[in-house]
Amino acid sequence: MIQRRTRFGGHLLRSFRDASSSSSSKIGGYFGLASQTSTSLQQACVSTNRDAEFANLEWDNLGFGMVPTDYMYIMKCSKGESFEHGQLCHFGNIELSPAAGVLNYGQGAYEGTKAYKKEDGRLLLFRPDQNAIRLKNSAERMCMPSPSIDQFVDALKQTVLANKRWVPPPGKGSLYIRPLIMGSGEILGLSAAPEYTFLIYVSPVGNYFKEGLAPLNLYVEEEFDRASRGGTGGVKSITNYAPGLKALTRAKNRGFSDVLYLDSMNKKNLEEVSSCNIFVVKGNSISTPATNGTILAGITRKSIVDIARDHGYQVEEGTITVDELIHADEVFCTGTAVGVAPVGSITYQGKRMEFKTGAQAVSQQLYMTLEGIKKGVIEDKKGWIVEIG
């Protein structure tokens, strides 16, 4: 039986596993991987007897759930200092003090991105520098240090390469990558934690929604707010999401896919769906709510804006009232986890509005272009793709 524990004590990470002494010596070699090149990292992965091309999974039945993989990446620093050297260690549970800042005061932020495998076996990341920038903004808002862009991207590369057998075959899904920063140090009174941990773990995933690529049915939430002016709605704070579970659970129990939030001040302007941005299509015009501090600046959102303009659409970022939905031809959502998801209907104050979906929809055209770029099928003319192996 395998047991995995990683203790967050001092600056040395230790992994414990019930294995032979020879396996233990190989595992120990992983503590020096942070400074290795991609080539030597790949060779080190082979030395751990995890050289099968793919893990033993039912790739055709992937959903969006946690699948434990081989390795995670951890880097630590103290308050007032900078992140310097990180390490790969076996994926497993971590130990935190009950007084850790993240547990008591929610001091944490996270990101989400994906890796794809091409037919020739090469691995691709999509705009990881944008995730690094957004995580830095989130960390600053939550009074935490953050890795540099180069540190962040290098950590992603190391983690994906170490877990390369978990990247789904082409067309079967992607490797979801979850970087996060948390206040791991002990703090009793309300204050910034004295120590911080940057961590990356991964999981192979399929479609986010149980509907797969089928159109979503959204419910306009009027009782609960997602964010308010001056709050943290514009960053990926860990505190943004659990408060939305009540509205989301209630909507799903009523048969809806997700909830669409309105602004907290006027209760009439579209903001976001629970975990993704929203777009509205009317003729040749595509509109999306402006990122004004309460709406997360999605990287998929930003990419779709550029792709839509390349396709000749007029894209506007501004205020969209809920009443305007009745005149829309199409509605769709975007996000790292969801990709580009068509919306079949939105229910507001008991009235159901339906929208165009299908192969000829604008959202499908944009989806095919975006996915083609991500997977290396369509030429990347914007420098968005980072190849890592």
SS3 category, 369: helix
CA pair distance 99, 282, nearest whole angstrom: 52
CA pair distance 133, 202, nearest whole angstrom: 20
* Residues recognised as catalytic: 236
Q: Mean pLDDT, 10 residues at a time, over the chain (389 residues)?
A: 40 33 33 37 41 86 94 96 96 97 98 96 97 98 98 98 97 96 98 98 90 87 94 95 96 97 96 96 97 94 98 98 97 94 97 96 97 96 93
**Residues of the chain by 3-state class (helix, strand, coil), percent to 5:** 30, 30, 45
CA pair distance 45, 32, nearest whole angstrom: 13
Query: Encoding tokens for residue 49?
Result: 């007897």
Q: What is the pLDDT of residue 125?
A: 98
* Residue 275 contacts residue 338 (beta carbons within 8 Å): yes
At a CB cut-off of 8 Å and minimum separation 6, what does 98 contact?
A: none
Query: Encoding tokens for residue 205?
Result: 């995933």
* Residue 180 contacts residue 109 (beta carbons within 8 Å): yes
pTM score, two decimals?
0.86
Q: What is the pLDDT of residue 40?
A: 37
CA pair distance 255, 362, nearest whole angstrom: 26
Q: Which residue has the tokens 């979850």?
A: 178
Q: What is the pLDDT of residue 385?
A: 98
Q: What is the pLDDT of residue 279?
A: 98
* Residue 32 contacts residue 24 (beta carbons within 8 Å): no
